Structures are given as C-alpha cells and as structure tokens.
Amino acid sequence: MDLQLFTIGQLSKQTGCKVPTIRYYEGIELLPNPPRTEGGQRRYNAHHLQTLRFICHGRELGFPIKAIRELLELDQFQQDSRASTEDGCHRADQIALEHLHRIERKIDQLSGLRDELKMMINACKSGDNHSCQVMSVLADHQLCQHSHGAADDNE
C-alpha cells in the first residue's frame, strides 16, 4: 500500500541513522533518490526505510560500504529475475565470510597489541628505578616481538 511517507527526520529516528548520513548515502547512490515535495524536501516511503535499515545494520556490523552496495545489488538482482537465488545466496555468504575473516584477523592483531601494552604498563608499575618503561619500549622495542601490520587499516 506504501502510502505512508516519511520525512528525513522520521527516517532518521526509525533507523538511528543521522540525517546528514542519510543524505550522504543518497549522494553516493547507495540509497535511491526519494521524491520531493514542491518545496524540495525529501519524502520517503516504506521501501526506502527498509533499504536504509539494511544499510545501517550492515554498517553496524562493520561491513564496508562497498560490500553493502554489492549485497543490495544482489538483492535487486534476485527480485528482478526470479532466477539464481542460490548463486546470490552463495555470493552473499561469501561476502559475509570475507568480512568474518577480516574481523578475526583484526581481533588477533588487537589481542597482540593488548598483550604488548599490558606488558609495558606492568613493567612501568613494577619499575624500581624511575625511568618509564612505556617510553623505552616505544623507543627501543625490546620487550617483545610482534608480527602484525599497522593497526589503523580502517575496515
């Protein structure tokens, strides 16, 4: 029936997604352009709401926008042609799996960092001399070895 229209603010409240972020998603063509009032304000329908929910939840789960875009296209594809639902499912599964691996790698990395930091801090606490272990560990990197990349790769 789809007669219910929402303002951008209402959409924001329903999804928890901030207003500028919704506009941003429109700008990058992740969320379809909604119709406008005569005055130029956006009016969304139930389908927009659903799509935005999908996007937001994906982002909360840490999926990169690129992956979400692909998942949305897959969804579109499946709705367009009734075919290859299994392929679509397979691909969606694959995207989720890739993401799972990214996250598991990141957890390992961070666990290593956590341990190294703990060592630094403990060394500092128990230091009988007053020289700071935090500083010297950072300077010399002698307390332990670690073999992770930089921790700042944004997912």
Sign of the CA dihedral with 135 first, then 140, 146, and 152 last: positive
Q: Which of 98, 43, 37, 44 lies closest to 68 in space, CA to CA?
A: 98
Q: Binders of DNA among 17-76, rule CB under 7 A?
A: 18-21, 23-24, 37-42, 59, 64-66
CA–CA separation, 33 and 124 (whole Å):
56
> Does residue 109 touch DNA according to CB under 7 A?
no
> Which of residues 19 and 97 has its CB atom nearest to a copy of itself in the complex?
97
Whether 120 contacts 137, CB under 8 Å: yes
Buried b (16+ CB within 10 A) or exposed e, 115-125: ebeeebeeeee
Picked from a copy of itself, DNA, none, the partner binding residue 97 (CB below 5 to 8 A depending on kind) is a copy of itself
What the block records as the tokens of 61 is 């789960």
Q: Binders of a copy of itself among 6-65, rule CB under 8 A?
A: 50, 53-54, 57-62
Picked from a copy of itself, DNA, none, the partner binding residue 95 (CB below 5 to 8 A depending on kind) is a copy of itself
Residues that bind a copy of itself (CB under 8 A): 50, 53-54, 57-62, 71, 74-75, 85-86, 88-89, 92-93, 95-97, 99-100, 103-104, 106-107, 110-111, 113-114, 116-118, 120-121, 124-125, 127, 130-132, 134-135, 137-141, 146, 148-152, 154-155
